[in-house]
Amino acid sequence: MKEKKIGKLVLGVLAILVLLGFLFMGYFCADQTCALKPGSPTPGYLHFDVQAYLKGELPAKVFEEKDLERDFQVDLEDGDVIVFHHMQKTGGTTFGRHLVNDLQLKHPCRKVDGRKRYDCQNSDHHVWLFSRYSTGWRCGLHADWTELQECVDREMDAFEGKHRTRRYHYITMLRDPVKRYLSEWMHVRRGATWKTAQLRCNGRQATLQEVPFCYNSSDWYGVTIEEFLACPHNLGNNRQTRMLANLSAVGCYNRSLLPPDVRDKMLLESAKTNLRNMAYFGILEYQPEMQYLFEKTFHLKFGVQFSLFNKTHITKLKMSNKTVEEIVKVNSLDVKLYQYAKELFLQRVNHARRKAAKAQETISQYSNLEKSNIDYIVDSSKQVVPKKEVLSRSEENNDGSSRSGSINDKTERSQSTLDVHVSETVPKKVKGDPDLEPGRFDGSRSEGIDEPRKSNIEPQIDKSEGDQADSRLKSLHQEKSLLTSKPGIDGLHRESRSRQVTGENYDDSELDIDEEDNDDEDEVK
């Protein structure tokens, strides 16, 4: 009898262990290694973000203050140069036009007669913008981060005819990876090839063995979305991650040096680091916020308001959920990067708005202080100082905030470090008050956007500074029915890749080789 009870107990324990094993392997173990349930082949380290993306969610991430603070008082009259890293189908054409047409400067860009170029020079005839419309594709058509790092300074010397010390501020734009991929497919289907892209890394161009063709003639005209997805060498796959990463660190375009999962992880982390360290990046789906953050970052103003067209070629298309899932699968690195970038971008916007509101509050405090009858105050370091000294230091700080060459004197000032606490009594000695926190007048704390949220929910943004930008943070992830149009043409062709273009050989016709004026990426105006 006792033996039967022991036997049942042992069987019960074994059954529990087996059940726990199935639960672990089915739900906790990485999909690509030991999952028993049918599921996405997405690597485990990407699975969470991919699933959140498909659900329209934006998982919260914690960023350091230095990653949120973006305040570059650029001096376009001195040595500052803005370098626009333009990735295909991210809205860069329209943003590039904003840069040359709409910035309010003492010396705005001047269109060159009969050409599609602009002269963007300061009073010393120094170029302050390195971009498609100002200098041309001098580092190659849609040069990536790796190419720009090797090329920009050399090409700027050649363009200006002399060497000088410059301070480069890199900027770029990103786009929802599914919509960007579909936009590229539609463009390629119309016959685009970007055949003059150089794909340089470590001083040499990629070979055809490293980057084989996906087609058999001069272009890929009429390619179906299924064919576009099926080519493993398609440079459209994870394009944003690849073009933002340091390719030198992974052996450039030689994929045989590292295991695929190791290479992918390195590319993704490199892209995130480079994006985070750029002076500025925008996201196509957030036009008003993108403009606001640019203006706060560089203390420059645009003369127009950015907006997004509601109807584009992409929004008119519909595709099956299966096709969309396949697009996400081949762009899983871009999905991860986009989720990271969007959260960082929104937190930067939030940070900039809180900072602007606080700066306005500081200015009001100084204004009230100037009108008051008191002679001494307690500053943020808990020191008693004469009112005149604080006001004088405040004026010096404000005078130094207009070095950018902007003609708009209403640019938000950087917050003064002289935040004060006005005291109606003036004691001979004042000890530090632990209840007075430097930089705060009422002890309140502005809330950030640290909680997980659906991407269609607006982050809590402080608008008390009266900024006119539309703070509508409208997500495009909810459009689960992206795309339905039958391509109708089935031809496969091939081109001979040309990568021998140099900066001196570009002419105006090449400016529009890759993006037509009526292209769907020009949904921004």
Tokens read off for 503: 């900066």
Which segment of 7-11, 251-255, 292-296 scores lowest on mean pLDDT?
7-11
SS3 117: coil
Instruction: State the pLDDT at residue 511.
Output: 32
The answer to whether 473 and 459 are in contact (CB under 8 A) is: yes
**Orientation of helix 321-330 relative to helix 177-189, angle to 10°:** 100
Tokens read off for 277: 């360290």
Taking 70 as the threshold, does the pLDDT of residue 482 lie above it? Answer: no
Which segment of 59-63, 234-238, 255-259, 264-268 scores lowest on mean pLDDT?
59-63
More confident site: 492 or 475: 475
Within 10 angstroms of residue 386's Cβ, the number of other Cβ atoms is 11
pLDDT band, very low/low/confident/very high, at 503 (cuts 50, 70, 90): very low
- Residue 388 phi/psi, 5-degree rounding, is -60, -35
Tokens read off for 217: 């003639």
Which of left, alpha, beta for 91 (phi over 0: left; psi -120 to 50: alpha)? left
**Orientation of helix 387-399 relative to helix 332-371, angle to 10°:** 140
Place of tokens 């010390």: 165
Give, for 356, the enclosing helix (H) or strand (E): helix 332-371
Give the chain's length.
525
Distance CA 448, CA 460 (A): 7
Sheet order of strands, 376-379 included: 384-386, 376-379, 420-421
Tokens read off for 487: 């391509």
pLDDT tens across 357-386, in order? 988 887 777 777 676 777 766 666 667 777
Taking 70 as the threshold, does the pLDDT of residue 512 lie above it? Answer: no
**Mean pLDDT score, 416-423:** 37
Taking 80 as the threshold, does the pLDDT of residue 142 lie above it? Answer: yes
Tokens read off for 53: 């993306």
Q: How far is CA 313 from the centre of its chain?
A: 23
Tokens read off for 139: 């580092």
Q: Which of 293, 282, 342, 299 is nearest to 92 (CA)?
A: 282
The answer to whether 422 and 365 are in contact (CB under 8 A) is: yes
pLDDT tens across 308-346, in order? 865 556 667 888 999 999 999 999 999 999 999 999 999
Q: How far is CA 438 from the centre of its chain?
A: 32
More confident site: 356 or 45: 356
More confident site: 60 or 204: 204
User: Which residues on neighbouring strands pair with residue 345, listed in sequence order?
Assistant: none
Instruction: State the pLDDT at residue 383.
Output: 75
More confident site: 219 or 514: 219
Q: Which residues are catalytic?
A: 142
Taking 50 as the threshold, does the pLDDT of residue 36 lie above it? Answer: no
Burial of 325 (0-12, 13-18, 19+ CB in 10 A): middle
pLDDT band, very low/low/confident/very high, at 191 (cuts 50, 70, 90): very high
SS3 103: strand
The answer to whether 473 and 346 are in contact (CB under 8 A) is: yes
Q: Which of 87, 80, 453 is nearest to 299 (CA)?
A: 80
Taking 80 as the threshold, does the pLDDT of residue 103 lie above it? Answer: yes
Give, for 11, the enclosing helix (H) or strand (E): helix 2-23
pLDDT tens across 54-80, in order? 888 888 899 999 999 999 989 999 999
E strand residue ranges, 49-181: 57-58, 80-85, 110-111, 118-119, 129-130, 167-174
- Residue 257 phi/psi, 5-degree rounding, is -80, -25
Q: What dihedral angle (degrees, nearest 10) is formed by the CA atoms of 481, 482, 487, 493?
A: -140
| Cα angle, residue 37 at apex, residues 263 and 14 outer, rounded to 5° | 115
Instruction: Note the pTM of the prediction, 2 decimals.
Output: 0.69
More confident site: 380 or 289: 289
Instruction: State the pLDDT at residue 418.
Output: 37
Distance CA 174, CA 416 (A): 33
More confident site: 48 or 43: 48
Sign of the Cα torsion 68, 71, 76, 78 reads negative
The answer to whether 116 and 79 are in contact (CB under 8 A) is: no
Tokens read off for 118: 């602009």
Q: How far is CA 466 from the centre of its chain?
A: 25
Place of tokens 């890759």: 514
SS3 193: coil
Contacts of 286 (CB under 8 A, 6+ apart): 345, 346, 349, 473, 474
**Mean pLDDT score, 138-147:** 98
Which of left, alpha, beta for 364 (phi over 0: left; psi -120 to 50: alpha)? alpha
Amino acid at the residue 314: I
